[in-house]
Amino acid sequence: MRKTLFAWIGAISTVGFFACQQNVKRETASRPNIVMILCDDLGYGDVGFNGATDIRTPVLDQLAAGGVRFSSAYVPHPFCGPSRAGMMTGRYPHTIGAQFNLPPNTARLDEGITREEVFISKVLQASGYHTGIVGKWHLGAAASYHPNQRGFDEFYGFLGGGHKYFPEEYLSKYDEQHGSGDGAVWDYLRPLEYNGHEVRDTAYLTDALSHQAVDFISRAAQLDNPFFLYLAYNAPHVPLEAKAEDLALFAEIENPDRRTYAAMVYAVDRGVEEVVNALKAAGEYDNTLIVFLSDNGGNTDHGANNGALREGKGSTYEGGYRVPMFWHWPNQIQAHEACEYTVSALDFYPTFAALAEAEIPSGKLLDGQNVWPAVVGQEDFRAEAPLYVMRHRDGYSDVGVRQGQWKAVKAHQQSWQLFDVNQDIGERKDLRQQHPAQLSAMVDSAEKWSETHVQPLWFHSQETADRWHVDGMPRFEETFQSSIGQ
């Protein structure tokens, strides 16, 4: 049986929301607990509340049905590390040098997001919240970039970009390599940790993280102040590894990758049920804001399904960074139909700070907005304000701009394209010839945004770094050529 954390320590009437929400509660409540649940590489179409039929997610679906389900939700980047950097800092990752994933075995490298950037966890901690992260970090493994140095009272999980799921496998391999004196053991094999101390949890990884989230909630609920829990599941990121009992529930899925992927998502749903039950048992459910999303689009090469969206993880088409998302808070939000107006994970920072009545440091730059006034029906907050995304490749960059109904895209060294994503979510009908002025204005806007970017502070491999410099990147003069002809 797995020890509890303490035992282990001992051993060592309203206006419609976004024109569609009519039932937001107005009563004043105490500062909410905030539980942000993040999946890794979860596809837009891989939850029931977004139309999945072969993957069952009953708990997530029930929460989504009882809160705000966003059908046009975005993250700051189409792959993992930069996306998480954006969520934690409230900044586009390109503006802080975080355009690439950190390289493996970062604990041996002094690399991470500059300490001048104050994370949302630090802001909440300073306002009296008890803060914890359970799961994946991937924002710096060296001591100065550790979660405990970025505003988290508690960290239980792993520091790298991914992990294997079965401890009987990864721990034995770790012991073999570590015992041989190899200090550069692959991140995916390292034991989990609690606040810098090794933990040998014997549970399947998703279950271990769910159990720890429950433990954190149970203890934090005994404190006088509210809590912030960032529950960052590794699932359904590769390697595709699922428990036999979960796999048995999806025997009807013939494709083995899809079947394993489905079982991994179901394990997350099962864990979220444990979290919900813990909140209810502690009497904290009604005053807890639960935010659920994925860090980027699904990896369609490894079992994911992004529904009607074009492409997937890594892409500046919708499938790369438009993600499943809902907010649930019984004290403040009642059930309603899905809302189609755009929301970004960049908005979390100012919104969470406002709900927590927390002070954002003077001079802190933010690229998102406090969207809570819109949630209570006071305004259509984003209207025509654009959302940007950029992914650097070898010698060129892909770009996406979402503005109202419009989406401008430059991808794979092709010409700029324009889509009406309200009518064409799959980005199939290019309208650039019909609306050249609209496209030109959006490209000009993205070019101006690119002027705020800085050179990357790190690259995920030496080969990528070498190519960046040899190719003279970022070469924006090529990216933002004529919006019609190039």
Side chain identity at 282, as an amino acid letter?
A
With a CB cutoff of 8 Å and minimum separation 6, the contacts of 152 are 121, 125, 131, 132, 133, 230
- Residue 399's SS3 state is strand
Q: What DSSP string runs through 229-258? A: EEEE--TTSSS----HHHHHTTTT--SHHH
> What are the C-alpha distances in Å from 150 to residues 87, 145, 155, 173, 232?
13, 7, 10, 31, 16
Please pick, among 80, 130, 211, 302, the residue that the annotation labels catalytic: 80
With a CB cutoff of 8 Å and minimum separation 6, the contacts of 244 are none
Assigned token pair, 285: 């459910």
Vertex 442 angle, CA 405 and 451, to 5°? 135
Assigned token pair, 468: 């960046």
Q: Quick check: 128 and 227 in contact, CB under 8 A?
A: no
CB atoms within 10 A of CB 388: 24
Vertex 278 angle, CA 275 and 283, to 5°? 130
Residue with tokens 């705020």: 452
Q: Quick check: 319 and 310 in contact, CB under 8 A?
A: yes
Residue with tokens 């799961």: 135
Q: Quick check: 474 and 453 in contact, CB under 8 A?
A: yes
Told to judge if 237 belongs to the known catalytic residues of this protein, a careful annotator would answer no
The residues that bridge with 385 in the sheet, in sequence order, are: none
Please pick, among 94, 138, 163, 237, the residue that the annotation labels catalytic: 138
Residue 182's nearest CA partner among 191, 173, 169 is 173
Q: What are phi and psi of 312, to 5 degrees?
A: -160, -155
Told to judge if 39 belongs to the known catalytic residues of this protein, a careful annotator would answer no
The residues that bridge with 322 in the sheet, in sequence order, are: 74
Q: Quick check: 74 and 343 in contact, CB under 8 A?
A: yes
Distance (Å, whole) CA 54 – CA 7: 40
Residues catalogued as catalytic: 80, 138
